Amino acid sequence: MLSLGMSWTYLLSLCYSFKVFRVVEVPVCILPGAFLRWRLLNPMLYATQGSIDGAYLAIHHGWAINIGGGYHHASLKDGGG
């Protein structure tokens, strides 16, 4: 679902520590990309999917709750904040 709103090149760039450092604005560029993916990016992706699922459920059932959202400052080709 993320590929509908974000470019594949941006999503692939998140495999690199320096890109993640620029997005989250925390000095994590010394950590391996696989570690960042496992401990930082995957939880963010799950929360983002929760927002997408919540919107879908609200449209089809009239209401939904997602307590894991709140990521912002993203565009099609970049993220931040």
- Specify whether 60 is catalytic: no
List the domain boundaries for the chain: 2-61
- 64 and 52 in contact (C-beta within 8 Å)? no
Question: Please, which residues have CB within 8 angstroms of residue 28's CB and are 6 or more apart in sequence?
Answer: 17, 20, 21, 36, 40
Dump pLDDT digits (tens) for 7-51.
778 777 777 777 777 777 777 777 787 888 788 888 888 887 888
- 36 and 54 in contact (C-beta within 8 Å)? no
> pLDDT band for position 60 (50/70/90)?
very high
Given the residues 60, 61, 72, 73, select the one marked as catalytic.
73
